[in-house]
A and B are shown apart, each in its own frame.
Chain A
Amino acid sequence: MIAEIGHFALILALAVALIQATVPLIGAGRGNASWMGLAGPTSAAQMALVSISFAALMHAYVTSDFSVMNVAQNSHTDKPMLYKVAGVWGNHEGSLLLWITILAIFGFAVTLFGRNLPPGLKARALSVQAMITVGFLLFILFTSNPFDRLDPPPFNGQGLNPLLQDPGLAFHPPLLYLGYVGFSMAFSFAIAALIEGRVDAAWARWVRPWTLAAWVFLTCGIALGSWWAYYELGWGGWWYWDPVENASFMPWLAGTALLHSAVVVEKRDALKSWTILLAITAFGLSLLGTFLVRSGVITSVHAFATDPARGVFILGLLVVAIGGSFLLYALRAPSLKIGGLFAPLSREGTLLLNNVLMATGAGTVLLGTLYPLFADALNLGKVSVGPPFFNSVFLPLMVPMVLAMGVGPLMSWKRGDLAGALARLKIAAGLSIVVAVATWVLQGGSLGPWWAAGGMALACWLFLGTATELAERTRLFRVPFGQSLSRLGKLPRAAWGMTLTHAGLAVFIAGMTASSAWKSESVQSQKIGETITVAGYAFTLKDVQNVQGPNYLASRGTFEVTKDGKAFAVMQPQKRQYKMPPMPTTEAAIQTTFLGDVYAVIGDESSEGGYVTRLYFNPLVVWMWFGTGMMVVGGLVSLSDRRHRVGAPSRARVPANSVRA
């Protein structure tokens, strides 16, 4: 019964979305206020209906209602409650329902916070939002209904893929989707602005917080997925340039570029049509990501079971959404008024440079991801494009970007003083060279990879460049220290946000470089009592025992690890055999220190009575997570800036003494 309510609510939501997609749009064209006004109530109704539907599916999972096919295929009574809940989005149908629920919530948020938005822009944006909803609702209802019944219902379900039964991954899809779908806001506003033919600072002020929020979620989601891959897959790596990882990384790149170009629109009224293009691209790449993951066109470790009908439907959706938007862009963008001019050497100029590099980077990732498809279609053979391609194409493009990131914030708007900025960066540059030389010497010259020194120097450059900018803002060492401190306290939160995210990226780069360059690994058959030494850590395999978990059996190895003869840790990696579905998983044991992760994996019993073990030392891995954390916190701090507070400024200037809600 409840499942039918959920299904019915989805159908009603489709009807409501159809109204929301058309009536307010026509109303805005004709200047009919009551038609435009319909956007608000319909978006609220839509959110209510989709939420009911989502709650109905959640109910089916929590109560293990196996008469619903989706639950029977993906859940099991033995599963811990957290994974029953997470199971809702651990499959194709449910994850689409989550997608659309988030879309409806975002739509309602526009209604809720957008009271002082210009009514035309709001009505049009909500209509565009509803068009996306219509597309996805049709997709769910016709090809992927999560509420299909199963008759007779099985006694128990088939269970969730054990790899997905993990706290990190339970929250990875919702965060990722909050990011993907969050870019739909920028997209809807961009399309609305194109229809209106007007992009101005107020528009950018509207788009920025939404984009920033989406960016924060997406960053979190990607980091969580990467962290999960690191500790759960037991391969010791954290990023594989897998098509599905790329699918989330491309919108992140475009979104990051959008975030920066929206600043230029807001502050300088320039780069307008470029910003619109980025907004369309960011969401287009999010849709493409959904397509790549859901359709199974590309061999990936993530692909759910595939169905050609679905792939064709999403492809159609993609063509209409992206093709339509680009067509509209081609028709309307030339009519956008060109705004403020600037010299190439200026804050705008460096932001533009970074935008171009980031967009090009996203383009190369797109090319690498889709190349196997093209090659297959053109009969060039079956190929796979893996880490070597991306490392030798994408990373070099990011080098000038990071270099410019150190300089850009020190340039002034409109016309900057490059010589002056570089003069202020003398210390940063000098120390970066010192770091490069020190890294080279410490790794024993050409014993380590040649790029390691460059990577560490870049990290140092970016970190010190960011610090220099902060010192400039507070006039450190030029005014008394107390005055600097009080300036520091008065810095706008958006400035803090930038400082934190840029410094976070620097920390991330250091971690990434070190963990890729100096990883130590040892794979062997290890007998009980035998000691293997990796990077100065001596691993002694003490014993291997069988342990029983809630829905699995595991063999658990116990390693005593010593460093320089002193006890360091006792590590207990497991190899688990899940019962339903019957599938083995590897649970690595990780001991994190400031300088690196000690990482142990245990495998099958080998023929001569030992166990296959894999032992790693991964340097500075925690720096990557910490750096990403800084970036997320920076985004949140910036989001809390009152100038970004949703709805604060509007086109009609709010009287200075008006009370803010």
Chain B
Amino acid sequence: MTRKKRRLYFVILGLLAVGAAAALVLSALRQDIVFFFSPTEIMEAKVPTEGRRIRLGGLVEQGSVVKDGATVRFKVTDGANALPVVYEGLLPDLFREGQGVVTEGRMGQGVFVASEVLAKHDENYMPKEVAESLKKSGHWQGEHPEQVQK
């Protein structure tokens, strides 16, 4: 086997692997990535959300949390609009009214049906997307009061 042939083998192998990976990535990018929206974007129907798995983020509206057995209803707000969310399951430890939250699920009839409510390890931590959507709607309160400025 000559040097050139070996190099050819190497290149073909590499191309095959990269080609397979590219095909998988492209098909996955179409189906498996999840877009993030704020309540305003969803309610003003700027985006096609019906049926697709999406993320909704914002603040948990004060006084909106209603627990009924293992089912929880609450509203996610970005200050301008609030979208009702229903979730069945155990809430993450750091879920609290007035705090930032990211939920994942599908849009139902005017209600966002969440299959996941994302927990954060650190209560000072505001999900970046939430902070930005609050800034966009003009309801950004600055850094979280408990956040330590370093």
Task: List residues of A whose CB falls within 8 A of some B CB.
Answer: 73, 158, 161, 163-164, 233-235, 296, 299, 301-305, 307, 338, 341-344, 349, 352-353, 356-357, 359-361, 363-364, 367-368, 371, 381-386, 388-389, 392-393, 396-397, 523-525, 575, 581, 583-586, 601, 603-604, 606-608, 610, 612, 614
B24 within 8 A of A: yes
Min CB gap B92→A, angstroms: 9
Contact between B24 and A397, CB atoms less than 8 A apart: yes
Contact between B67 and A606, CB atoms less than 8 A apart: yes
A384 and B34 in contact (CB under 8 A), knowing A307-B150, A360-B17, A523-B89? Answer: yes
Supply 19 A–B pairs (Cβ within 8 Å), ascending by A.
Answer: A163-B121, A299-B129, A301-B118, A304-B122, A305-B148, A342-B6, A353-B13, A360-B20, A381-B35, A382-B37, A382-B129, A383-B35, A386-B33, A386-B104, A388-B28, A523-B89, A524-B69, A601-B90, A607-B67
B108 within 8 A of A: no
Q: Is the interface of A mostly helix, strand, loop or mixed?
A: mixed
B36 within 8 A of A: yes
Contact between B21 and A352, CB atoms less than 8 A apart: no
Contact between B129 and A342, CB atoms less than 8 A apart: no
CB proximity to A under 8 Å, residues B1-56 = 1-3, 6, 9-10, 13-14, 17-18, 20-21, 24-25, 27-29, 31-37, 55
B97 within 8 A of A: no
Contact between B32 and A382, CB atoms less than 8 A apart: no
Contact between A305 and B125, CB atoms less than 8 A apart: yes
Residues of A close to B121: CB separation below 8 A = 161, 163-164, 301-302
Contact between A584 and B93, CB atoms less than 8 A apart: yes
Min CB gap A301→B, angstroms: 5
Contact between A341 and B1, CB atoms less than 8 A apart: yes
Task: List residues of B whose CB falls within 8 A of some A CB.
Answer: 1-3, 6, 9-10, 13-14, 17-18, 20-21, 24-25, 27-29, 31-37, 55, 67-70, 88-91, 93-94, 102, 104, 118-125, 127-129, 132, 147-148, 150
Q: How far is the CA of A367 from the CA of B21 in the complex (A)?
A: 11
Instruction: Pick from A158, A356, A368, A612: contact of B90, CB below 8 A.
Output: A612
| Residue on B nearest A575 in the bound complex, by CB | B93
Contact between A607 and B29, CB atoms less than 8 A apart: no
A383 and B3 in contact (CB under 8 A), knowing A356-B14, A393-B21, A610-B69? Answer: no
A607 and B68 in contact (CB under 8 A), knowing A353-B13, A364-B21? Answer: yes
Contact between B17 and A397, CB atoms less than 8 A apart: yes
Contact between B28 and A392, CB atoms less than 8 A apart: yes
Contact between B127 and A393, CB atoms less than 8 A apart: no
Contact between A73 and B94, CB atoms less than 8 A apart: no
Residues of B close to A361: CB separation below 8 A = 21
Contact between A389 and B93, CB atoms less than 8 A apart: no
Q: How far is the CA of A612 from the CA of B118 in the complex (A)?
A: 18
- Please provide the 6 A-B residue pairs with the shortest distance between their CB atoms, ordered closest to farther: A525-B69, A382-B36, A388-B32, A389-B32, A360-B17, A584-B93
Instruction: Pick from A305, A363, A382, A397: contact of B150, CB below 8 A.
Output: A305
A301 and B119 in contact (CB under 8 A), knowing A360-B21, A384-B36, A586-B93? Answer: yes
Min CB gap B37→A, angstroms: 8
| Residue on B nearest A605 in the bound complex, by CB | B67
Contact between A305 and B122, CB atoms less than 8 A apart: yes
| Residue on B nearest A364 in the bound complex, by CB | B21
Instruction: Pick from A299, A356, A381: contact of B128, CB below 8 A.
Output: A299
Contact between A525 and B119, CB atoms less than 8 A apart: no
Min CB gap A547→B, angstroms: 17
In the complex, besides A363-B21, A392-B27, 5 extra interface pairs with C-beta distance below 8 angstroms are A305-B124, A384-B33, A384-B104, A386-B33, A393-B21
Residues of A close to B128: CB separation below 8 A = 296, 299
Q: How far is the CA of A382 from the CA of B57 in the complex (A)?
A: 11
A352 and B28 in contact (CB under 8 A), knowing A383-B34, A385-B33? Answer: no
Q: How far is the CA of A184 from the CA of B128 in the complex (A)?
A: 32
Residues of B close to A360: CB separation below 8 A = 17-18, 20-21
A371 and B93 in contact (CB under 8 A), knowing A301-B121, A343-B1, A356-B17? Answer: no
Contact between A606 and B148, CB atoms less than 8 A apart: no
Instruction: Pick from B28, B70, B122: contact of A161, CB below 8 A.
Output: B122
Instruction: Pick from A235, A383, A585: contact of B36, CB below 8 A.
Output: A383
Residues of A close to B91: CB separation below 8 A = 603-604
Contact between B1 and A389, CB atoms less than 8 A apart: no
Contact between B70 and A524, CB atoms less than 8 A apart: yes
Residues of B close to A299: CB separation below 8 A = 102, 127-129
Residues of B close to A523: CB separation below 8 A = 70, 88-90
Instruction: Pick from B20, B104, B123: contact of A583, CB below 8 A.
Output: B123
Contact between B93 and A583, CB atoms less than 8 A apart: yes
Min CB gap A374→B, angstroms: 11
Q: How far is the CA of A584 from the CA of B119 in the complex (A)?
A: 12
Q: How far is the CA of A356 from the CA of B10 in the complex (A)?
A: 9
Min CB gap A415→B, angstroms: 9
A607 and B69 in contact (CB under 8 A), knowing A163-B121, A305-B125, A385-B33? Answer: yes
Q: How far is the CA of A368 from the CA of B34 in the complex (A)?
A: 12
Q: How far is the CA of A163 from the CA of B123 in the complex (A)?
A: 11
A233 and B119 in contact (CB under 8 A), knowing A364-B25, A383-B36, A393-B24? Answer: yes
| Residue on B nearest A232 in the bound complex, by CB | B121
Residues of B close to A161: CB separation below 8 A = 121-122
Contact between A612 and B70, CB atoms less than 8 A apart: yes
Residues of B close to A389: CB separation below 8 A = 28-29, 32-33
| Residue on A nearest B18 in the bound complex, by CB | A360
A614 and B90 in contact (CB under 8 A), knowing A341-B6, A385-B33, A392-B28? Answer: yes
A305 and B147 in contact (CB under 8 A), knowing A392-B27, A397-B17, A525-B70? Answer: yes
